[in-house]
Amino acid sequence: MVVKTKQKLPKWATLDRQTTLIEMWSLHGNKCLQGHSACPHFSHYVQIKKEIVWVAKSVQIPCFDKDGLPMRDSKGNQLALTLNKSIPVEVDKVTVNRLYNAKIESLITNWKADDREQDKIDWELEQSALHWLNEKRYPLSGRFNAISQAIFADNQPLFYIQGLGISGLTFKPFAKVRIASSYMRLYIDLGDSLKRVSKNKKRKAIRYGKPLPYHTEQRVDLIVREAVKDYLAH
């Protein structure tokens, strides 16, 4: 009897990302690295990448006595201890690849980095929320009384912007948003709202969560707020 087990998808493989991979396959699948469909030239599939490998290198360490004087053998030669030390060396790694695989490798790497950063942000938000609740002296167990419920509800944000990104298909910015008191996440197109932001500031905002210029942040917040209200209204 053959037992089939369901293969568990990696954490980064969310539904929207799986859709992105499918759409990218429809554009780049079965193409060589130079973009030719069903290319017959093997050399067009050869990819050379720089890779760091660790190699052993012998290192001579001179020997000294307790007084700091060189230790010598019977012939007067300096004694030394030979140790093997690992050092990094950059080498060329040759692989056979297709255009689709080459494009999604960097994309998946960025997704994993975004997820690690998001986990850190979620943890910090959770710790901040627990600290805030403690300062407000809300009951941590049992039911809220009527006043506590009203205060708590009034202080809850409508959404949390968890990060910014650039679509791999449209190359336009989007915001990843979590609806308050829900696990639902929305990916909201920001259009040209980041057009006037420099590439350096845009990269830092997307990759490291650095703040955008004030007027740009206000514009992003307005776009996201309207999109969330429209989503909740339906």
pLDDT of residue 131: 61
What pTM does this model have? 0.43
Q: Is the pLDDT of residue 135 over 70?
A: no
Give the mean model confidence (pLDDT) for residues 67-90: 86
Residue partners of 167: CB distance under 8 A and separation at least 6? 20, 173, 174, 189
Please say whether the beta carbons of 43 and 37 come within 8 A. no
What gap in Å lies between CA 44 and CA 108, rounded to an integer?
Answer: 23
Q: Is the pLDDT of residue 12 over 70?
A: yes
Of the candidates 93, 90, 89, the one whose C-alpha atom is nearest the C-alpha of residue 56 is 89
Give the mean model confidence (pLDDT) for residues 139-167: 65
Percent of the chain whose pLDDT exceeds 90: 3
- 97-108 per-position pLDDT tens digit: 889 998 888 889
pLDDT of residue 154: 58
| Residue bearing tokens 């001579």 | 60
